[in-house]
Each structure stands twice: as structure tokens, then as C-alpha cells.
Structure 1
Amino acid sequence: MKTKSRIASIVKANSLDFSITGLQTFDLSVLNLATDLEFQLPTNVRLGHLVEKIVSELIKSSTNYKVLYENIQIIEDTKTIGEIDFIIEDENTKQLIHMELAYKFYLFDPSISHKPINNWIGPNRNDSLKEKLEKLKTKQFPLLYANCTRSTFDTIAIDEVSQALCLLVSLFIPYQYKGSFSPIYQKAIKGYYLNMETFVSLDNSAKNYYIPSKKEWGMDPSENENWTDFNGIEKHITTCINEKQAPLIWQKHKDSYLEFFIVWW
């Protein structure tokens, strides 16, 4: 995995704002950063922790924000009741911000509801945007005001800390879907999803593919150098589908690149 490409993918990632989340937004574009940043990335962590590490290093590398605390477990009666992702400080205003971070891939299933907010689900249908926002509003953000949190951050005036969400998303819509989306959703749409049968029908010898590992999700397919034909990925996809895991596929066709999920449902 190319470190610079992985970092760049997070810097450029689209975030959902207040108009959709109902929560104050922390957008990474507010960070004053040097161009061409590079720093060491951990290799043995899951995607979510990798992104947390990158965002942490971005804030530390900026000239206008600093990290005061990160990944602080909140413990009550020897039991961990939650975790505070970040407490950061705006160097100019000295405002402290409790920032929660999430890096998500959601697929739009128009059959769920007539309200778009309800229709964004995880690739394997086991999580959703609506559930994530509900958890943030009812659990993760209120955690700041718990008594055990106050005692953990006893040098901070908790009631003066603002709160913001950095929700980085890559969105995928049904293949050949004709519906329209608000601009905030639209700019975050990275590709589409389809079933195996449709994928097979669209394949031809001019197309090459790559199945990115989970830690590569969200990176730019055009920077990938390893490609294979359909035969090189068919077995892997079949295994995923049988295990009810929707793989992400990158496709190269001449000079164009696509990314899409193949779903089992």
C-alpha cells in the first residue's frame, strides 16, 4: 500500500455535513497542511484505526490545530463504557473540540424507505448511516458529560468544549440508478453496486480488475499497478458471495477506472 496515496485519500475524502447529520461538522479541509505530507503508518491495524491514525497525524501536522487527547477510554467501576476519539484545540481561538471520527462505506437501497437518510446501509446490510448517527447522538457525544469523563479530563472545563463530527463517507448507488441526490450526497458518490450475474454480463476482455484489501478501500484505483482479468478474481468473488461478504472491485478499462461493490443480497 502506497503511504502517500493512503494519506491523500483521507485528506480528499468527502464528509457529510450538518444538513444531513444534524451534528456540527469538523471538515479536514480546515486544517492548514503542508502539501505532499508523508508519515509512518501502522501496518497491523484495521481500517478504522488506520484512518484514526492518519487523521491524528494530519491534525498534529497542521499549523492551526493540535491534539490534546485521542482514543481515551472512559471507565466506570472498572468497566469501559465508551471512548472519546479526540479532544483537539483550535490554536487561534483556543476553543477545545470533542471530535468523533468515522470512515464509512454506504450503499443506497431505495427499497427501504422514501427518506434517503434511511436508505444508506453497509455493504453487508449490517449497519446503516441512520444507526450510526443515532449512536453518535445518544451515546458517543453525551459520553463527554458523564461524571467519569469529567474526572478523566479533570484539567479541562468540559462545559466549554464544543463537539463536532468528522464523518468521511464513500457512497455507492445501484447500477444504472436514475434517481437524484442532494449535492452533499452526490459529491460523495464513488461508484455503484450490482450482483454477480450483472457483473459477469458486463465483463469483456478489455477490462482488468483488482480486489483491494479492506485497508485500501477509499484509495484512488488509478494509482493501482496490479491488475488481472476476470478469471483472476472470479474464485475470490464467489467465495465472498457464498460467505455473504460484498467485495469492493476496482476496474480498469483503457484509461478509465471504476469502483463498485458486488453484493450477495
Structure 2
Amino acid sequence: MNSKSRIASILNAKSLGSSVTGFPTFELSDLHIQKELDFILPTNIRLGHLAEKIVSRLIQSSLNYTLVYENVQILEHQKTIGEIDFIIEDIKKKQILHLELAYKFYLFDPNISSEGIHNWIGPNRNDSLIEKLDKLNTKQFPLLYHPCTALQLENIDVKTISQALCLLVSLFVPYDFKTKLDSDYQKAIKGYYFNFETFNNLDTSDKLYFLPPKTAWGIDPSENKIWSDYNNIKEQLKKSIHEKQAPLCWQQHQGTYMEFFIVWW
């Protein structure tokens, strides 16, 4: 995995704003970083943790914020009751901020609800945007005010700490979806999704494909150097669908690039 491409994909990812999430928004563009960063990335961690490692380095490299704490495990009776992602400080304003970070891929299923916010689900339908927001509201942000938290944040009065969310998303809509979504969602749409039967019926004869590992999700497909024809990915796709795993697929065709999920449901 090209570390520069992976870092750039996080730094340039779109975030959902407070009009959707209900929380104050922290944009990674708020970090003043003078030079292009490149550093060695771990290869044996999940995508969400990889994003946290990258954002940690971005904060440490910024000129306007300092990293005070990260991944603070809050303990009660020697048992972990939660984790605070970041405590950072605005150098100029001397303002301490509790920052929660999430890096998510959601697909829009218009059949779930008449309320759009309920229709964003994970590729395998085992998580959703509304569930994530509920967890933030009931567990992750209130954790700052748990009595055990103050004991672990030395010399900081938790009452003076502000809170914000950086919810980075890549969004996908159904194939041939024509409805225009709210602008906060629209700006984050990266592609579409369909089932294997629909994909199999498309003209694939002169197109090239790559099935990125999850740690590469979100990288621009144009950065990829290894491509295969349809026949060389077909069996892998069948296996994923059989195992009820929706793969992300990158496509190259006549100098243009696309990305889409192939779902099993």
C-alpha cells in the first residue's frame, strides 16, 4: 500500500457536518500542515484504527494544534468502560477539544425508511449511520464526563473541554439512482452499488478491475497499478458473495476510473 496515497485519502475525505450529525464538526482541513506527509503505516490493523493513526500524525504535524492525549482507555474497577479518541489543544486559543473520529463507508438503501438519515447502512448491513450517531450521543461523548475520566486526564478540568466530531465518509448509492440527495451527502458520494447478477450482466469485456483489501478502501482508484480482467476476479467475487461479504471493486476503462460495491443482499 502506498503510504502517501493512503494518507492523502484520509486528509481529503469528506466529512458529514453538524446538520446531519447534530454535533460540532472538526474538519481535517482545519489542521495547518505545511508539507506533504509520508510516514510508515502499520499493516496489521483494521481500517478504522489505521485512520486514527494517520489523523494522530496529522495533528502532531500541524502548526495550530497539539496532541495532548490519544486513545485514552477509561477504566472503572480495572475494567475498560470506553475510549476517548483524542484530546487536542488549539495552540492560539488555548482551547482543549475532545475529538471523536470515525471513518465509514455507507450505502444508501431507499427502502428502509422515508427518513433519509435512517437509510445509510454498512456494505454488509451490519451497521448504520443512525446507529453510529446514537452511540456517539449516548456513550462516546458522555464518557468525557464520567467520574473516572477526570482521574485519567491529569491537570485538565473536563468542564472546560469542548467536543467535536470528525465523521469521514465514503457514500454509495444504488446503480442508476436518480434522486438528488442533500448537499452534505451528495459531496461524499464516491460511487454506486448493485448485486452480483447486475454486475455479471454488464458489458465487462474491455474493462479492468481490482478488488482492494479493506485497508485500501477510500484510496483513489487511479493510484492503483495492478489490474485484472473480469474472468480473473469472477471466482473471488462469487466466493465473497457466498460468504455474505460485499467487496469494493475498482474499475478502469479507457482512462476513467470508477468504484462500486457488489452486494450479496
- TM-score range (shorter-chain normalised) is over 0.9
User: What is aligned with 2:194?
Assistant: 194
User: What is aligned with 1:240?
Assistant: 240
Q: Secondary structure at the match of 1:41?
A: coil
2: CA distance between counterparts of 1:80 and 1:132? 20
Q: What letter is aligned with 1:93? A: K
**Does 1:99 pair with 2:99?**
yes
1: CA distance between counterparts of 2:91 and 2:41? 25
**Does 1:18 pair with 2:18?**
yes
User: What is aligned with 1:221?
Assistant: 221
Q: What letter is aligned with 1:57? A: R
Q: Tell me the alpha carbon deviations over residues 147-199 of structure 1, each in whole angstroms, 9 at most, x when there is no partner.
A: 00011113101000000000000000000011111111001000000011110
User: What is aligned with 1:205?
Assistant: 205
Q: How does 1:71-82 map to 2 (within 5 A)?
A: 71-82=71-82
Q: How does 1:159-174 map to 2 (within 5 A)?
A: 159-174=159-174
2: CA distance between counterparts of 1:141 and 1:55? 19
User: What is aligned with 2:264?
Assistant: 264
User: What is aligned with 1:117?
Assistant: 117
User: What is aligned with 1:36?
Assistant: 36
User: What is aligned with 1:250?
Assistant: 250
User: What is aligned with 2:4?
Assistant: 4
Q: Which segments of 5 or more consecutive residues in structure 1 lack a partner in the other structure?
A: none
Aligned 8 A contact 1:248 1:262 in 2? yes
Q: Secondary structure at the match of 1:37?
A: coil
Q: Tell me the alpha carbon deviations over residues 29-84 of structure 1, each in whole angstroms, 9 at most, x when there is no partner.
A: 10111232111211211111110000000000010011100001000011110000
* Runs of 4 or more consecutive aligned structure 1 residues displaced over 4 Å after TM superposition: none
Q: Tell me the alpha carbon deviations over residues 228-260 of structure 1, each in whole angstroms, 9 at most, x when there is no partner.
A: 001111111111101100000000001110000
User: What is aligned with 1:55?
Assistant: 55
Q: What letter is aligned with 1:2? A: N
Q: What letter is aligned with 1:43? A: T
2: CA distance between counterparts of 1:36 and 1:158? 34
User: What is aligned with 1:149?
Assistant: 149
**Pairs aligned (count):** 265
RMSD: 0.7
Q: TM-score normalised to the size of structure 2? A: 0.99
Aligned 8 A contact 1:86 1:98 in 2? yes
Q: What letter is aligned with 1:148? A: C
1: CA distance between counterparts of 2:184 and 2:171? 11
